[in-house]
Amino acid sequence: MALRTVEQYYESLKDLHPKTYILGQKVENPHEHPLIKHMLAGVAETYALAQEPEGREYLVTESKLIGEEVSRFVKFYESRDDLLAKVRMLKFLAQRIGTCFMRCTGMDAINSVGIETYNCDQKYGTNYYERFLNFVKYMQKNDFVVFSGVTDVKGDRSLRPSEQKDPDMYLHVVAKNDDGIVVRGAKIHQTGSICAHWGLIVPTREMREADKDYAVCFAIPVDAEGLIHIYGRGTLEARELQDCDLGNINYSKFAPMVIFKDVFVPWEQVFLCGEHEFAGPMVRNFGNYHRHSHGGCKCGVGDVLIGAAALSADYNGLPRVSHINNKLAEMLKTTEAIYGCSIAASVEAEPTASGIYMVDPVLSNVSKLYEGKELAEVIRMMIEIAGGMVADVPSDKDFENPEIGPLLVKYLKGVEGVSTEDRVRLFRLIEKLAFESRDIVSNIHGAGSPETHKMTILRNADIESKKKLAKRLAGIREN
Amino acid sequence: MALRTVEQYYESLKDLHPKTYILGQKVENPHEHPLIKHMLAGVAETYALAQEPEGREYLVTESKLIGEEVSRFVKFYESRDDLLAKVRMLKFLAQRIGTCFMRCTGMDAINSVGIETYNCDQKYGTNYYERFLNFVKYMQKNDFVVFSGVTDVKGDRSLRPSEQKDPDMYLHVVAKNDDGIVVRGAKIHQTGSICAHWGLIVPTREMREADKDYAVCFAIPVDAEGLIHIYGRGTLEARELQDCDLGNINYSKFAPMVIFKDVFVPWEQVFLCGEHEFAGPMVRNFGNYHRHSHGGCKCGVGDVLIGAAALSADYNGLPRVSHINNKLAEMLKTTEAIYGCSIAASVEAEPTASGIYMVDPVLSNVSKLYEGKELAEVIRMMIEIAGGMVADVPSDKDFENPEIGPLLVKYLKGVEGVSTEDRVRLFRLIEKLAFESRDIVSNIHGAGSPETHKMTILRNADIESKKKLAKRLAGIREN
Amino acid sequence: MALRTVEQYYESLKDLHPKTYILGQKVENPHEHPLIKHMLAGVAETYALAQEPEGREYLVTESKLIGEEVSRFVKFYESRDDLLAKVRMLKFLAQRIGTCFMRCTGMDAINSVGIETYNCDQKYGTNYYERFLNFVKYMQKNDFVVFSGVTDVKGDRSLRPSEQKDPDMYLHVVAKNDDGIVVRGAKIHQTGSICAHWGLIVPTREMREADKDYAVCFAIPVDAEGLIHIYGRGTLEARELQDCDLGNINYSKFAPMVIFKDVFVPWEQVFLCGEHEFAGPMVRNFGNYHRHSHGGCKCGVGDVLIGAAALSADYNGLPRVSHINNKLAEMLKTTEAIYGCSIAASVEAEPTASGIYMVDPVLSNVSKLYEGKELAEVIRMMIEIAGGMVADVPSDKDFENPEIGPLLVKYLKGVEGVSTEDRVRLFRLIEKLAFESRDIVSNIHGAGSPETHKMTILRNADIESKKKLAKRLAGIREN
Amino acid sequence: MALRTVEQYYESLKDLHPKTYILGQKVENPHEHPLIKHMLAGVAETYALAQEPEGREYLVTESKLIGEEVSRFVKFYESRDDLLAKVRMLKFLAQRIGTCFMRCTGMDAINSVGIETYNCDQKYGTNYYERFLNFVKYMQKNDFVVFSGVTDVKGDRSLRPSEQKDPDMYLHVVAKNDDGIVVRGAKIHQTGSICAHWGLIVPTREMREADKDYAVCFAIPVDAEGLIHIYGRGTLEARELQDCDLGNINYSKFAPMVIFKDVFVPWEQVFLCGEHEFAGPMVRNFGNYHRHSHGGCKCGVGDVLIGAAALSADYNGLPRVSHINNKLAEMLKTTEAIYGCSIAASVEAEPTASGIYMVDPVLSNVSKLYEGKELAEVIRMMIEIAGGMVADVPSDKDFENPEIGPLLVKYLKGVEGVSTEDRVRLFRLIEKLAFESRDIVSNIHGAGSPETHKMTILRNADIESKKKLAKRLAGIREN
């Protein structure tokens, strides 16, 4: 198959039965649930676009592993161009979907795990890398959606995994036998878990000797025995439950919590198990890659924010106002910096021992830092340009009411030539872009939090060599 | 009565029947509707607190007009101390309610209208001021809630009221007779209209001769014939509709749209009618006062944001982390600047001809500009401190499910000594503080938008005298 | 005398012979040195303005201590009104002088020492307070300039005073006898030391038992035996040395280093000596007061920055350009927040045991934090508005050259109606305002550095009570 | 020759006699003047580094035009890699020189003129491009320094060139004959004019039909008859005049004003003369290229700022303080965004008709916008980290004084293991980095001002396509 159609994607989900709870209810067909189906639609769109000429350019590539065309979402980054192509693909998709499409965590995890399984084998003579290549080939041949399970619930943040009162606050191995391992724990913020076919589970932090049971990496089908997906509430759910006022009329994002209730994993799906020194690099690789991914997708969403803001100015009758133009330029400043630093992180990437290329960590973390810290201001400016109507537009259902509908059409009219309905649609989109908590919180906490990015930048920026530059210019002799 | 108890407030609403639509439905008892009752609760709390010793200090004052104790919400600002007391009262209430309590627009409009009815009478020999004093006495004696109708729908923003294709895009007089006037139009973002007893309707901008039918100010009961209140959607409505996961467990804000479908207003309730040159000052006064009010209440909400952020650090096990302390200090920097400039605007207030004191407009607008531009960053920092759980906490209903409830209690546990339930309550509150669109948009657009504040600052800052200072120091002679 | 005229001030300096080094030379008459005389002029202007009607309102007050009119610069803060009057005086002076006038450190130190000598006497039965009142009376009767020596050189910043390898890195008592004490050490950044009559020396940090020799406070004449003033270089000295291109044609700031080479201090001038627990409060009081002072003077300088920027737009032919107006409003936002928070810190001041009022520390530190962090952006905006000419205007001497002078007059002309000479004067003033290092660094480090302000804010902001607010709203019960 | 040694550079200057005025004096040997020689040294260093292995990698390339190795400073941008190589070269040089090295304006102008002479010839059949290639070959063969004259004095900024009262406020053709043209006018901020061999003069803005005499581009030797260079004052000149306390011990920047007093230019040096529609593109190309150049050099200077700040923390005894690390990360955020966007602008470059590649204008302008708006904050943070000593360190001459020198060595000591002399050298460097007006103002106004960058971003960002993205997601049909 290698390239799945959108119909094949939907079809494939029918065979999957992830154990799912939504708002306190066990749900039999989660893929059809009103709070899930718009999330699925974003994933589906990535399949649809891969079949169209423009999307194909971005989404389809060749795999050396299987010698076939594959989705870029399941390919290794084998060159700087692959990394550039990734950023541009994600920008392209985000411009069309306007929110998360939930396939990047898997892509980034595949590359992170690829690097470290190789390194681990080199050090310990394990055969994780070969196993992992088999897994990747299988993903490629079936064009599967992979979610990546990184973030543990963490308990008391001041304590290491092995120091927690409850040992399950980080996912860990609780049993081993000849066939495989049994794991227990919980991963939160699992972008797209219910939309996926497989999960690739990665440690969430560096581990020490004492934490070695927590240094575990493996793949798992989303409906494996013992896996439980619990829906995490977003902000605009009344709209989906009532099927109106959606804002983004097709797509939305979600991030369930996934509990591992003593889940068995056969050895061929295990890619790290106790070699604790590779846990840290694995998650740091993931972080650097995933911040790099955000540089593409969040710039793409940024283009939607800017377009929505500019359009609202038109619809309000203020198309060429100086302060609005100033704000649009400021918005572009941030979104293009996010994108530009991600492009630059691709150009300055270097190959690892495995042959997989690692992005420049300073630049990819700088990109994410702009997202985490400055994108909130871009959104604020969009609201400022759009006006107060973002807060309190009446419902589609009010427009349908024969008594007040016509009054609303009359009074919510903006500039001539634009229907009230379209103006209201735009305000709803802006509301969705500004207030969907999963998107906004992802800007800040997705792929790690700003403080993590700062630490990563400092660790990689070679401050010592910069001190030498200053010394030389000041006439200070090195000792 | 002069001071109404909370029971009397609820009782009084039973006599009111505002024509109300919510999500496409005409609602007979809007005060009891799940999407309204939490809004009412905030107003009710202002009555309750006025009966308690601490609240009394802030809320109760003496009226010279009726010679009785009255609520500060219906009193004129007769001194700098009155203005200081207002700011402190609003901060006190916002700390306890955590959102809007919907009585300030009326208070600020009463003072704005007071100044200009006096000025108009001086110029034209009208008797608006006397009429208005009678209205204010009536409000004081009954301790009514007054909402202020300022913001028109505005149509094409590039056109003046009289230039709009549809003449109703700004509220205006469509008929007059010996008994009164008939008005038509619509006011949006009507904070608290359904919770109030009366509305005080004020023009939304300066008017010219051609716009004189739009230069109209009057009072109206909320259930007057022809008045229609239409609920504007907020972001977190699924919670109120399901009565769980409320975040702020008692209070919320809303802002309906109010349509005036040929509403009759008797002359004794009319306080401006055609004297167009007073429309601008009336709304500018209102703006300056209301920005000054925000200086109190938004600092109070800011204290809740800061407290919630600090508490989340505790609950996550990170009570004394350097970068978190740094953020708390930055958050305080903004909230205290908002408050400090409002306090300073009170101290530098000056009396108008009517005897009512006008706040310093530069300082009150600077206060609001910090709110409009910087409070978003305070909220972003709160989210950054709290962590990703703000985005996707499972529902109370999941906790009640016997199969997954215990797992959630186990896995969402933070630091020892704090129950998972309390930790989740806190994340819910933070979600509410960060994502309730009416609050967030009010930060930006309430009492006018940042660009309005900037214009007001520039107009009042006496740039010419500052140029003279520069000239003297540079040795440039004045011509 | 109590109120000295400007002539009397200059006359009084003739009797003072502070041992002074400038650029490697011992200077006999420092007060006349080209690098000093413009600094003196700013101090002198405070005497001159006190004799004029407008300045008198700001500068002259009544002393209860001596029952005479005195300069506000040597008076205790005995009420909130005194604190308001201080802020307004400093703004008034800074608007006219455009830089530091070097009398505030003394004023703020007098009040800080007043509070803690009182407290120390209460605890230990010492008689510092009485001694100190005598000193203050003497300052009042003679209308002296007092500089305050706070900042020690500090050596290795990670070590406490008593831990330093060289014990002299903080000023300390090296000998004591019946007549007095002998002190050794060095104080840097001594704003105005050479312009003053007396110094009031205060510890620079909290001290512990081991540091008690460093817990010393005393007064000293500027030309005491063993005191050495060493000129610290500023940035624009070539102008003063050549007596042209001054920018601010009359005034400038400086900050020498003062070395105490075993200086004897008689007991009647000693106000703390070993009671280490009062060292911290003394300097913290000073910090809070002096940040409050900056709220006045830096807003005054800010008015000059804004005036100069607006004037440069006029002179360039761009008087009403939208982006320039936007920047002027942003500049005002910052300068008025600095002022507003200082005004508010006065209004929310509380009396100490001594009767001297202490400003609200949160608000005074917030004011200074805006100065330290945001005033740099105000200056950047001034440069942005003025244009590139700020960097490289030819000299007055070029204008005097008959060959190129006329060409410069021709080519540096801006808008009609403004002479090239005036335009150049303005660019020079802007250069001075933007690049005089003592002023710019004072914005950041004067009265402590931003991190100190943040710590002070956090320590005083009562975060615990804010947590309680959040708990109540979230429905979390207090244990 | 093609690659000149540093000795050959100095030798070549002996043949040049640019007419030069400094501080009102005509100077015969400007290259040796104390206010010029440190500027020359930076240029000279570019020659020296081209002869060293590491520098060679960055600086030396192959010219297709002359088939020899040439300096990258005189080469066309013939590929994306050329543009990447430029950015990296400029970063490398700026790290070593710590200020402007004055060869980039020429390089960028060569490329800008190359594009438009080609376009003009295509439209009008002129032969500017061939002439220009000859000029470029001559520059390449001789490895000349070229300064670019762009910025006119502009007179009243609200008027176009042909509308000015004095027609000479923009440089223009005042006569023509068979041999060439005569030009009059003045160019300001002429980075490096006295260090150069030739100038390449370009219009400063778009021109219309009426302005066609102002649409002129040509090359000119720096000592052509009628050219006058007038030194523009910087801020730290006393240091160079006294030859001490230099900060950056070798290098500095300057920017004279160059007056064209009826200068004759032979036709073979004229590259545009009246074809007004190419004036705008020429300067816009230059702007986009030069903003792209700043992305390299200002990141390099930024590394020095960061290194100096980090080193000062070490020297003060505060090597691993949390708030300092936080600031270093924030500083990196800005400098790396400046660099990253410039790298990305190279990668997204496109070829023009001439074959010369044009950088992506949105990204190159975003890079410069970060420099113009945010680099000031990087410098402020450097000062904040370094401490107050930046403002007022005594002079080297004080250290040489036997009486106070030892006291200064004692008291200005920081951490053990670092000599006081080195600590002072570092403070001096920081002072130079923070207060040299030509550098700081260049950050803001070099290559155009922030408002120009914003306009360029908006004009190139294709807002219309972004509106379409929003429409599609909101469900708004295109008409």
Our CA-based measurement puts residue A425 at a distance from the nearest CA of chain D, in whole angstroms, of 6
Judge whether residue D478 has pLDDT over 90: no
Judge whether residue B312 has pLDDT over 80: yes
3-class SS of residue C286: helix
Q: Dump pLDDT digits (tens) for B350-380.
A: 999 999 999 999 999 999 999 999 999 999 9
Residue C102 in contact with residue C147, Cβ under 8 Å? Answer: yes
Give the span between the Cα atoms of A454 and A358, in whole angstroms.
Answer: 18
* Sheet arrangement for strand D216-221: D146-149, D198-201, D216-221, D270-273
Q: Average pLDDT of D454-467? A: 97
On the 0-12 / 13-18 / 19+ scale of CB atoms within 10 A, C340 is buried
Q: Dump pLDDT digits (tens) for D396-413.
A: 999 999 999 999 999 999
Which tokens is C418 given? 């403004």
Percent of chain C predicted with pLDDT > 90: 99
Judge whether residue A1 has pLDDT over 80: no
Our CA-based measurement puts residue A222 at a distance from the nearest CA of chain D, in whole angstroms, of 30
Other CB atoms within 10 A of residue C2 CB: 16
Our CA-based measurement puts residue A423 at a distance from the nearest CA of chain B, in whole angstroms, of 11
At residue D448, the pLDDT reads 94
3-state DSSP of chain A: CCCCCHHHHHHHHCCCCCCEEECCEEECCHHHCCCCHHHHHHHHHHHHHHCCHHHHHHHEEEECCCCEEEEHHHCCCCCHHHHHHHHHHHHHHHHHHCCCCCCHHHHHHHHHHHHHHHHHHHHHCCCHHHHHHHHHHHHHHHCCCEEEECCECCCCCCCCHHHCCCHHHCCEEEEECCCEEEEEEEECCCCCHHHCCEEEECCCCCCCHHHHHHCEEEEEECCCCCEEEECCCCCCHHHHHHCCCCCCCCCCCCCCEEEEEEEEEEHHHEEEECCHHHHHHHHHHHHHHHHHHHHHHHHHHHHHHHHHHHHHHHHHCCCCCHHHHHHHHHHHHHHHHHHHHHHHHHHCCEECCCCCEECCHHHHHHHHHHHHHHHHHHHHHHHHHHCHHHCCCCCHHHHHCCCCHHHHHHHCCCCCCCCHHHHHHHHHHHHHHHHCHHHHHHHHHCCCCHHHHHHHHHHHCCHHHHHHHHHHHHCCCCC
Between the alpha carbon of residue B348 and those of residues B81, C88, D335, the distances in Å are 11, 11, 43
Confidence of residue B184 (pLDDT cuts 50, 70, 90): very high
Nearest CA in chain C to B348: C343
Judge whether residue A427 has pLDDT over 90: yes
At residue B304, the pLDDT reads 98
Interface chains of chain D (3 or more CB pairs under 8 Å): A, B, C
| Cα dihedral sign, C411-C413-C415-C417 | negative
Q: Dump pLDDT digits (tens) for C162-189.
A: 999 999 999 999 999 999 999 999 999 9
Interface chains of chain C (3 or more CB pairs under 8 Å): A, B, D
Give the span between the Cα atoms of C415 and C431, in whole angstroms.
Answer: 20
Judge whether residue B240 has pLDDT over 80: yes
Give the span between the Cα atoms of C267 and B81, in whole angstroms.
Answer: 47
Q: Dump pLDDT digits (tens) for D321-378.
A: 999 999 999 999 999 999 999 999 999 999 999 999 999 999 999 999 999 999 999 9
Give the span between the Cα atoms of A245 and A91, in whole angstroms.
Answer: 26
Q: Is A169 on the interface with D (CB under 8 A)?
A: no
3-class SS of residue D68: strand
Which tokens is B309 given? 């952020």
Q: Average pLDDT of D121-150? A: 98
Looking only at the bridges linking them, the beta strands covering D270-273 and D216-221 are antiparallel
Percent of chain A predicted with pLDDT > 90: 99
Q: Average pLDDT of B188-199? A: 96
On the 0-12 / 13-18 / 19+ scale of CB atoms within 10 A, B123 is exposed
- Partners of A216 in beta bridges: A273
Give the span between the Cα atoms of A406 and B116, in whole angstroms.
Answer: 36
Q: Dump pLDDT digits (tens) for A345-382.
A: 999 999 999 999 999 999 999 999 999 999 999 999 99
Give the span between the Cα atoms of D193 and A340, in whole angstroms.
Answer: 33
Residue A338 in contact with residue A298, Cβ under 8 Å? Answer: yes
At residue D142, the pLDDT reads 97
Give the span between the Cα atoms of D223 and D86, in whole angstroms.
Answer: 29
Nearest CA in chain B to D321: B322
Confidence of residue D320 (pLDDT cuts 50, 70, 90): confident
Residue with tokens 């703020």: C108
At residue C2, the pLDDT reads 86
Q: Dump pLDDT digits (tens) for B293-307.
A: 999 999 999 999 999
What is the count of residue pairs from B and D with beta carbons less than 8 Å apart? 8
Judge whether residue A436 has pLDDT over 90: yes
Judge whether residue C478 has pLDDT over 90: no
Residue D181 in contact with residue D217, Cβ under 8 Å? Answer: no
Confidence of residue B478 (pLDDT cuts 50, 70, 90): confident
Contacts 24+ apart (CB under 8 A), B281-285: B281/B115, B281/B116, B281/B119, B282/B112, B282/B113, B282/B115, B282/B116, B282/B202, B282/B203, B282/B217, B283/B112, B283/B150, B283/B202, B283/B203, B283/B204, B283/B205, B283/B206, B284/B206, B284/B456, B285/B111, B285/B112, B285/B115, B285/B116, B285/B358
> Could you tell me how far CA A167 lies from the centroid of its own chain?
28
Give the span between the Cα atoms of A306 and D466, in whole angstroms.
Answer: 7
Which residue, D193, D153, D185, is CA-closest to D168?
D185
Residue length, chain A? 479
Percent of chain B predicted with pLDDT > 70: 100
Helices of type H across B348-386: 361-386
> Could you tell me how far CA A158 lies from the centroid of its own chain?
26
Q: Dump pLDDT digits (tens) for A304-330.
A: 999 999 999 999 999 989 999 999 999
Q: Is B321 on the interface with C (CB under 8 A)?
A: no
> Could you tell me how far CA B352 lies from the centroid of its own chain?
24
Mean pLDDT, chain B, integer:
97
Residues of chain C neighbouring B370 (CB-CB closer than 8 A) = 333, 337
Give me the amino acid identity at B364. Answer: S
Judge whether residue D479 has pLDDT over 80: no
Give the span between the Cα atoms of C285 and C277, in whole angstroms.
Answer: 13
Our CA-based measurement puts residue C144 at a distance from the nearest CA of chain D, in whole angstroms, of 25
Judge whether residue A390 has pLDDT over 80: yes
- Partners of A186 in beta bridges: A259
Quote the ipTM score.
Answer: 0.98
Give the span between the Cα atoms of B460 and B458, in whole angstroms.
Answer: 5
Which helix (H) or strand (E) segment is B293 a member of?
Answer: helix B279-316
Q: Dump pLDDT digits (tens) for B56-109.
A: 999 999 999 999 999 999 999 999 999 999 999 999 999 999 999 999 999 999
Residue C250 in contact with residue C41, Cβ under 8 Å? Answer: yes
Mean pLDDT, chain C, integer:
97
Judge whether residue A206 has pLDDT over 90: yes
Q: Is A472 on the interface with D (CB under 8 A)?
A: yes
Residue B23 falls in which region: left (phi positive, over 0), alpha (psi -120 to 50) or beta: left
Residues of chain A neighbouring C323 (CB-CB closer than 8 A) = 322, 326
At residue C10, the pLDDT reads 97
Confidence of residue A99 (pLDDT cuts 50, 70, 90): very high
Confidence of residue C153 (pLDDT cuts 50, 70, 90): very high
Give the span between the Cα atoms of C72 and C56, in whole angstroms.
Answer: 10
Q: Dump pLDDT digits (tens) for A138-152.
A: 999 999 999 999 999
Q: List, in order, residues 6 or more apart from C166 with CB less than 8 Å away.
A: C155, D410, D413
Give me the amino acid identity at C382. Answer: M
A428, HSE (Cβ side, Cα atoms, 13 Å): 27
Judge whether residue D423 has pLDDT over 90: yes
Residue length, chain D? 479
Q: Is D303 on the interface with A (CB under 8 A)?
A: yes
Judge whether residue C1 has pLDDT over 80: no
The DSSP code for D154 is -
The DSSP code for D415 is S
Give the span between the Cα atoms of C271 and D179, in whole angstroms.
Answer: 86
Q: Dump pLDDT digits (tens) for D5-23.
A: 999 999 999 999 999 999 9
Q: Average pLDDT of B442-447? A: 96
Q: Average pLDDT of D34-60? A: 97
Percent of chain C predicted with pLDDT > 70: 100
Whether residues C168 and D410 touch (CB distance < 8 A) is answered with yes
At residue C320, the pLDDT reads 86
Confidence of residue D106 (pLDDT cuts 50, 70, 90): very high
Whether residues A410 and B166 touch (CB distance < 8 A) is answered with yes
Mean pLDDT, chain D, integer:
97
335-394 in A: which are within 8 Å (CB) of B? 372-373, 376-377, 379-380, 383-384, 387-394
Q: Is A323 on the interface with C (CB under 8 A)?
A: yes
Confidence of residue A437 (pLDDT cuts 50, 70, 90): very high
SS3 content of chain D, % helix, strand, coil (to 5): 55, 15, 30
At residue B1, the pLDDT reads 72
Q: Is A225 on the interface with D (CB under 8 A)?
A: no
Judge whether residue C202 has pLDDT over 80: yes
Our CA-based measurement puts residue C81 at a distance from the nearest CA of chain D, in whole angstroms, of 32
At residue D340, the pLDDT reads 98
Which tokens is B227 given? 């008045």
Q: Is B54 on the interface with A (CB under 8 A)?
A: no
Residue length, chain C? 479
